Structure 1
Amino acid sequence: MGADAVVVGSGPNGLVAAVMLARAGCEVLLLEAADGFGGALRSGELTLPGRVHDLGATVMAMALASPAFRGLGLKGVEFAHPPVAAAHPLDDRPAVLVHRDAGHTAEGLGRDGAVWLATAGAAARAGFPLVDLLLKPLGPWRASPRAFAQAARFGAAAALPATTFARRALRTVEGRALIAGLAAHSMLDLRSPLTTGYGLMLGALAHLVGWPLVRGGSQVLADALVAELRSLGGQAVTGHRVRRLAELDAPIVVLDVTPRQLLAMADWPSGYRRGLERYRYGPGVFKLDWALDGPVPWRDPAVAGAGTVHLGGTLEEIVLSEAETTAGRHSPRPYVLLVQPYAADPERGGHTLWAYCHVPNGSPVDMTDAVETQIERYAPGFRDRVLARHAMGPAELEAANPNLVGGDIGGGLTSLGQFVRRPVWSPAPWRTPLPGVFLCSSSTPPGPGAHGVGGWQAARLALRSR
């Protein structure tokens, strides 16, 4: 199996690494254990024939904003934007809407509009220089003093727990609910540091690049990356599981795996092994996909135009739900992250829908009723629209993709301690102690998301070592 470089795993990071290495002139072999490429970018018919569902990532704000993807210039990938980036329904008042335009969003927040413009709006105005700094927490940095100053201002608020920011800076039910729904993407207790940063970053991306979908399904993006690799002379093989590094014969090996798999692949030096063993995984998710006979019957019609919908009610409700999950319990009224792809891309065979709630890592509990009850809360009659459903708990998710340990879709807990100590503390955590072996998964900085930056960093270091 001779090659200049072998990349193991074809998630967004592995694919970006493979293409970068091939563009630099390496003979690249990409190996994927599953029967298809893409990892978190895979799509398939989960419910009814002809219905295209994304098995993992659907909303591609990170891909559009990422310096890794921006530098690839892929062809044949079209991004479709919903009329509204995100919506947060409330029981007794109109839904909070995140528009592409920051000013329009601020208008809907009333007294909290000025705070939104000064935080998420300011980050969006700072543009890609700020995004590049935030997605490369350990460098390399090529930015102006102005960009560093903007990053420092953003970081002052971003470091706060979402609960602290919401209660100190925001005055309205709507503003506090909005930051809670955005911050809950972190899968952390919202009383934890950095949760404000996750929320504000996502809000800023909605204004900077939008929250689009890939037309035809996320698989289109994965297939375009594989096609680019092959056009450069690289090979891509599915159905090949790598268990030990000794199986590979290449001066460069890039691994799109998490610490659990990495531990089993080689006899690591004791210090590095202990670091990998200490690595912590976060909560899992319980994911549902539906085929519907029409759009979701939202009580507030404005929600129909949103690609992403956050369900969970007020700040206080979402804080309680996420705290329950962190404590190892199942919330009876979970925070639900829902995506209605048909709002942006009708070319998926009909009205498809997916949603997940957070659950303790490895949970065996069926959360179907709890999730659908939350949807019915804001869309009475939803269940009457369901033609077919497909459920995947943590065990099923990990069986489909071993990187989703215990159903953790983020590659590990996104806590303050693991923000840069990911998976171990190092100025270059993408480099392992074994010469020529690099790690590129979401278990490396900057963490989860379909941004490919872990692959970009690993490929950069691999090319320097060559």
Structure 2
Amino acid sequence: MTTRRATVVGSGPNGLSAAVALARAGFDVTVIEAHSGIGGGTRTAELTLPGFRHDVCSAVHPAAFTSLFFDAFGMREKVGWLVPDASYAHPLDGGRAAIAWRDIARTADGLGVDRRAWNAMLRPLARHIDAVADVTGNQMLRVPRHPVTFVRFGLRALELGSPLGRHSFRSEEAHALLTGVIAHANTALPSVAASAAGLLLASQAHAGGWGFPVGGAQAIPDALAEDLRAHGGRIETGHRVDDLSALDWGDPARGDVLVLDTSPRLALTHPDAHGSWAAAIRRFRYGPGASKVDFALDGPVPWAHPDVHLSPTVHIGGTRAEIEAGENAVARGRVPERPFVLAAQPSILDPTRAPKGKSVLWTYIHVPPGSSVDATETVTRQIERFAPGFRDRILASHATTATEFAVYNPSAVGGDFAGGAVTFRQLIGRPVLSTSPWRTPMKGVYLASASTPPGPGVHGMAGWFAARLAIADATGERVELEDLF
């Protein structure tokens, strides 16, 4: 019997997860990667000075601990993970800060008048994190397996995404703490879709926590690649694919498959891409971009509030009103003077990331799509606001504009590394309205990027969903994770 071929374009976590599943199912797998190294959005490199190891795109990975694929794969055992007691921190003016501890009771107690409100909103979701992950981690067009959690989660997202959300809490600290995670969605606020994404992140913060690998994000694709090679797969680097019509990926008539961990736009280069599906892909919208700045520091960030030193993830932007104003300015095509800054300081727990006594700091702001703005000074000013003396700690910095992100990774159209605008419509139809959005109308071709459910995040689930469909279509057999691992 002839072995079926599988070609995967893109070596991000979703592409490699699809490749691992296909190889374990008996396919002869080749992964094609444009860069000289693997990883996509999970690369780690010396961007500033020798000995300072920076994550090129993603840095902290809440979704990794709720991923069914990573759980079956054994990612927590194959990679050394650091899980902080403080999942994320939110400094405020006057030396104040709100901290989202992994211990929800400790978090709630720190919010004073909002202790009960925080518990009421997040404790049921954190307690049933697997159900929350199921609600958010699959396509929306199906009967929910956990209807009570589905309703509870949906009502909270509706509340926070509407004017009602302004009455959810009484304190500036609680509002800011939740708005910081909601702002990850990179869209105009308030928003039901962004609130859903923020609720998931906040729930993960109080469940398994927000973990990150020792040594940097690169450990994740390296573990997947090792398993792929152990099952006969190959990875070809330095091979950029811009046109599927020129790609020899096998014969779909005999069950060969092509999986794209790329922008869905690449699928439009297939000779058979046409009709309503192709029109829907052309209508699929991308969101604002990101302008990133990596810093090499002569010591830790000198935060005014001591507890901010304990959290690898820091949301910098002030009050809820300030963050919303900044995100709405970006949605209108402007870069705000005081933007929302997402920062990660892995060196507080991981001494391998910088020379002894030194630190790395990973930051980015949201910017209009295709922006060429260098955010170094803007980010420095905003951090200095909550960490006086930060500027004096900078040894070197490295800026990556949204335009440069789009060149580095064509999947990040306009610098949008979320893989598409986070809107309610595009949560339901991502990138098309379908019960199987990973399958294309072209025989043997599947989508497996952040532009498909469950969307952005380091979880490998889009790759698994695409691979499961590809295996079933090619062999007539439905496989589950327990069949492969």
Could you say which TM-score interval applies, normalised by the shorter chain?
A: over 0.9
The 2-side partners of 1:226 and 1:159 are apart by 40
The 1-side partners of 2:309 and 2:263 are apart by 37
TM-score by length of structure 1 reads 0.96
Q: Match for 1:450 among 455, 458, 470?
A: 458
The 1-side partners of 2:132 and 2:190 are apart by 25
Find the residue that maps to 2:88 and give its secondary structure: strand
Q: Structure 1 counterpart of 2:295, which letter?
A: W
The 1-side partners of 2:241 and 2:112 are apart by 55
How far apart are residue 262 of structure 1 and its match?
2.7
Range 83-92 or range 291-300, more displaced: 83-92
Q: Structure 2 counterpart of 1:154, which letter?
A: F
Query: What do you get for the CA RMSD once the two structures are aligned?
Result: 1.6
Q: Structure 1 counterpart of 2:172, which letter?
A: V
How far apart are residue 159 of structure 1 and its match?
3.1
Q: Structure 1 counterpart of 2:28, which letter?
A: E
1:181 aligns with 2:189: no
Report Cα offsets for 1:86-122 as digits up to 9, x if no partner.
Answer: 1000102520001011111111111212122122221
Partner of 2:151: 152
Partner of 2:249: 249
Find the residue that maps to 2:41 and give its secondary structure: helix
Q: Structure 2 counterpart of 1:313, which letter?
A: G
CA pair 138-457 structure 1, distance change in 2 beyond 3 A: farther
Structure 1 residue runs of 5 or longer lacking an equivalent are none
Contact kept? 1:66, 1:132, Cα under 8 Å: no
Q: Match for 1:108 among 107, 110, 114?
A: 110
CA pair 343-395 structure 1, distance change in 2 beyond 3 A: same
The 2-side partners of 1:160 and 1:93 are apart by 30
Find the residue that maps to 1:30 and give its secondary structure: strand
Partner of 1:99: 101
The 1-side partners of 2:101 and 2:133 are apart by 19
Q: Structure 2 counterpart of 1:116, which letter?
A: W
The 1-side partners of 2:164 and 2:271 are apart by 44
Q: Match for 2:291 among 254, 279, 286?
A: 286
Partner of 2:86: 84
Q: Match for 1:429 among 422, 427, 437?
A: 437
Find the residue that maps to 2:93 and give its secondary structure: coil
The 1-side partners of 2:381 and 2:266 are apart by 37
Partner of 2:478: none
The 1-side partners of 2:158 and 2:71 are apart by 27
Percent identity of paired positions between Structure 1 and Structure 2: 45
How far apart are residue 161 of structure 1 and its match?
4.5
1:358 aligns with 2:360: no
Dislocated runs of 4+, deviation >6 Å: 139-142
Structure 2 residue runs of 5 or longer lacking an equivalent are 251-255, 475-485
How far apart are residue 3 of structure 1 and its match?
5.6
CA pair 160-142 structure 1, distance change in 2 beyond 3 A: closer
Contact kept? 1:253, 1:436, Cα under 8 Å: yes
The 1-side partners of 2:159 and 2:274 are apart by 36
Find the residue that maps to 1:39 and give its secondary structure: coil
Q: Match for 2:467 among 442, 459, 465?
A: 459
Find the residue that maps to 2:343 and give its secondary structure: strand
How far apart are residue 172 of structure 1 and its match?
0.8
Partner of 2:136: 134
CA pair 279-409 structure 1, distance change in 2 beyond 3 A: same
The 2-side partners of 1:205 and 1:162 are apart by 19
Query: How many pairs were matched up?
Result: 462
Contact kept? 2:293, 2:375, Cα under 8 Å: no
How far apart are residue 141 of structure 1 and its match?
7.3
Q: Structure 2 counterpart of 1:110, which letter?
A: G
The 1-side partners of 2:271 and 2:63 are apart by 32
Contact kept? 2:131, 2:149, Cα under 8 Å: no
Q: Match for 1:377 among 382, 385, 396?
A: 385
1:297 aligns with 2:306: no
Within 5 A, what are the aligned runs for 1:47-446? 47-74=48-75, 75-92=77-94, 94-138=96-140, 143=145, 147-162=146-161, 164-246=163-245, 247-250=247-250, 251-350=256-355, 351-446=359-454
How far apart are residue 193 of structure 1 and its match?
2.0
CA pair 263-160 structure 1, distance change in 2 beyond 3 A: farther
Q: Structure 1 counterpart of 2:217, which letter?
A: S
Range 397-406 or range 369-378, more displaced: 397-406
Range 123-132 or range 349-358, more displaced: 123-132
Range 39-48 or range 107-116, more displaced: 107-116
